[in-house]
Amino acid sequence: MDSSRTSQKQKYGPPTSIKPRSYNVMLELLETQANKKLTNEYNQDVKQWLAVLENESLVNPSMIDLQPEIQWFMRPFLLDFLIELHSSFKLQPSTLFLCFNIIDRYCAKRIVFKRHYQLVGCTSLWIASKYEDKKSRIPTLKELSIMCRNAYDEEMFIQMEMHILSTLEWSLSHPNLEECLQLSIQSMNNLQVTPCKYNNLTPNNSKTSAITAISRFLCELSLYDRFFLTMPTSLVAITANLLACSMLQINTSSNYLEDLIKSYYIKKYDQRKPSTSSINLFATPKSFKKNQEDIIITAKENKQPQVKGSFLSGFDPNTTIDQIKKVCLMFIIQLSKITDVLTKKYESLGVIQVIKNFNNRYSFIISTIIDNSKMIINDEYIHSNKLNHLSDILLQLPQINDIESLIKNNTTTSLPIPLTPPSATSQYSMFLLSNHTLSSVCATPINSTHLKPNPPYNFNHTQSSDAIHGFSPVSKNLHHPINDWSSPISKVSY
């Protein structure tokens, strides 16, 4: 009789009897402000070190494909379970992202059986909480055993912990999505405040809190799919920030990206300008010069990419923007597969309502992307101008070709300054070009179009004949101030 009652009352998942631990929001704000003052002078060094760690802690998903029992369709079930554990213990957001980096790195090196998959996940969460959270928030072995419904003994967690750490060679440092997201929000939105932890909101920073909450939701959504393991962590966080700003109709991130593209091409074409220095009479032989150029090219290839803002892997518009578009399209596909656990976690913050409004606003574009999901997954979208244009609209991206052509024309059409000025009686006037007939009189043509001043840079988007262009939310004036916006997110009290 007692056994029948217990079998009826038994439920799966973490128990709901454990009360969430309270946390003082003001202590968190004071702590983050104090940490920011101490680390300001080391910001550039921190970025360089994060760029090194990003390359060293990459996960190879092809090795996980070779697992005999673990399959990718099992990942969402484990992720939902760990998100519930993470929320019940009120751990930091970075703990969850580090936890899954540990799981993926371990599964890429060791064979994991199906019956031990949950044990690996809970032990990784335990290790990550020791690394990221305070001592008072770390779950105990007894709590972990209860959460798993006593499927594993306490000794099994200790043995698995030692096995994971020895497999990873005790290297847990990794620029997780939360750190890259905070770096992206601070640099791309020109914020002077630190994004809030634990999804707590501050009334003075409603816009910052909204961007952080939606971006964090997208970062957690990226954990469900295999594709996001093939992309750099910083690039996924940057795309999540761009898409969150697009959902909130805030153009600060797109403006920052446009300025970054301008500075890249201005620097590129300024280096190609003809030199005005005098001729070197002691020129080196061609053979020695060629060897020297080969050495410089080899040194550039072996050099770490220069960090640009929050782009830890370097910034090249020709490749980086294409990667951002691909990540954006995959985010749109994943938005149609939101699980109930994520919905329950972020519904009280107003994130789900913002996503619903975004889906209603771009319903035609989103349905087109979902219909072509197979093409996007197989990397066939690159040859589709339509999908590229749709991703530009969703992310409010500037037109790179227009920016490059305008800067190239304005830098290459300017005449170089001659080394020696022509004499007054010379028939070769500096004002005459090669396509004009030379005359013995130094006369400036009155109707010449070459003497008109160069037009200023005009980076407005070009009008397209495509019907999809009517759905673009981007204003024609890209320097338009930020629209007034009130946060849809309500404060949550734990």
Q: How many CB atoms lie within 10 A of CB 320?
A: 21
The percentage of residues in the chain with a pLDDT greater than 90, rounded to a whole number, is: 37
Cα gap 377→384, rounded to integer Å: 13
Tell whether the model's pLDDT for residue 241 goes beyond 50: yes
Q: What 3-state class would DSSP assign to 66?
A: coil
Q: How many CB atoms lie within 10 A of CB 300?
A: 8
Tell whether the model's pLDDT for residue 402 goes beyond 60: yes
Does this model's pTM top 0.85? My answer is no
Query: How would DSSP label each residue in 313-376?
Result: T---HHHHHHHHHHHHHHHHHHGGG--HHHHHHHHTTTHHHHHHHHHHHTHHHHHHHHHTHHHH
Tell whether the model's pLDDT for residue 377 goes beyond 70: yes
What was the pLDDT predicted at 191? Answer: 54
Contact 174, 96 (CB under 8 A): no
What was the pLDDT predicted at 438? Answer: 39
What was the pLDDT predicted at 21? Answer: 62
Q: What 3-state class would DSSP assign to 311?
A: strand
User: What would the mean pLDDT of 421-445 be, rounded to a whole number?
Assistant: 44
User: What would the mean pLDDT of 311-336 be, rounded to a whole number?
Assistant: 89
Q: What 3-state class would DSSP assign to 282?
A: coil
Which ranges of 24-153 does DSSP label H, i.e. alpha helix? Answer: 25-39, 43-56, 61-64, 75-88, 93-107, 117-132, 141-147
pLDDT in tens, 457-466: 444 444 443 4
Cα gap 456→166, rounded to integer Å: 60
What was the pLDDT predicted at 25? Answer: 75
Q: In whole angstroms, what separates CA 417 from the centre of its chain?
A: 43
Sketch out the chain's domains with CATH numbers: 22-56+174-271+295-416 (no CATH), 58-172 (1.10.472.10)
Poorest-pLDDT segment among 134-138, 191-195, 212-216: 191-195
The residues, ordered by sequence, that sit 6+ positions from 257 with a Cβ below 8 Å of its Cβ are 188, 242, 397, 398
When pLDDT is cut at 50, 70 and 90, the band that residue 478 belongs to is very low
Q: What 3-state class would DSSP assign to 308?
A: strand
